[in-house]
Structure 1
Amino acid sequence: MDLHRPAHTLVLPIDCRVWPTPEHPIEIDGTVYAPKQELHITLIGSRLGHELHAALATEFLAKRIARAVAAQDWKFQRTGRFIVLGIRPPPVTMGGHDRAHPDPDPESDPAPDSDPDPAPAAGPVPVVAPRQSIIELIQLPAMRPFHQALGRLLGRQLPLPPPHVTLYIAHGRRGIGVASASQLRTRRIGELPAGVLPGAEQHSMARA
């Protein structure tokens, strides 16, 4: 994606021949998760993308990002570690009522070709289920030197986002961003056994 257009993210698409998208919804502990229609690895989340975009000239940033991407081998390996993430929208006041904010997570994976969740309408305060997702952690050695290069552009050390791929989502149309190891800890609900998910045994070394 174009880092200079909302949501200012950079993702690495995964070829469906390398890692097929899930085919069917699954139910875990009473929650139904919808399969993602495309798989990708988020290299730059929206919050970091906004910061880079605001701090650096467009042409300069584009060249430096392209150079940093080209310098790495983007080979990854699946780990078979499946994590359930959850985030509950914080309330905001609208028309005298507390309402759930439509997008409390600026690091969320963008839903391709879709608009953000609409703002809540007037009326009774809705009961909003926590947005959830199922991710698989991956091994992606290139992520560390890539973010070190980004940190040099900003003049500070950046947290290392845990490399992962979102496979399923629930109670929303977007994945849940994981910008750092601490954010993974706070948004983690639990870990699933590999046998719970279809195709979980297909762990392989691959290139996106």
Structure 2
Amino acid sequence: MKIISLVLIELFFIQYNCFSQEYPDEKTVQGYKEIISLYPEDLVSHFPKEIAHEKVLITAFKYPKIQDLSYIHIMSILNDKEIETLKKDALLEAKAIYHFTDSCLMVIPYNYEEDSIIINTDSIRYCQNSNMLPISNIRTWGDFVPNFYKNATIFIFNAEKGCFLKNDYLSKSGVGLPNAWQHGYSRGIVIFKNYVLYWLDVW
């Protein structure tokens, strides 16, 4: 994959909102469009093209910056037809399917709220299984939907080792994963009922 050069933008933007008629606001919509445009299409192809007319509950994204993990996390609500279509497509596209209740998960040990690597936490079942693909540490955002972590399905569309941003924008010493995953990315979705959380993490 072609390594891209990104303009350094020191901007960290997180917003939470539950069923607000004024959300997403124009600033959020434009910020989302901007950050989506910074990445290669194959890394963000699973995200909605825009969120102006989406029922969005969570937007959390951080533009690439020096020696850190960058990410895009979006949670929205789809209607029954949309969620069924998404599930069918996800089953075909997924490289792996996991659940938060699995005994072995390779979770990126990163706290998005604090911009820091987590050394030890009960919320992460760290797994050294070489066949596992890393997933985003979505638990950072808390219990936003009852039974979400108990019953949600995790679809990993892809995760690859290597450098997918300019070196200046990659984490200096990884994000706490095994050495083979010092740099890389993970992308996919999590589905629970009519809720879907889209993620991309690059480090």
Query: After TM superposition, is the score higher than 0.5?
Result: no
For the pair shown, the structure with the greater C-alpha radius of gyration is 1
Of structures 1 and 2, the one scoring higher in RCO (CA 8 A, sep 6+) is 1
What's the TM-score, normalizing by structure 2? Answer: 0.29
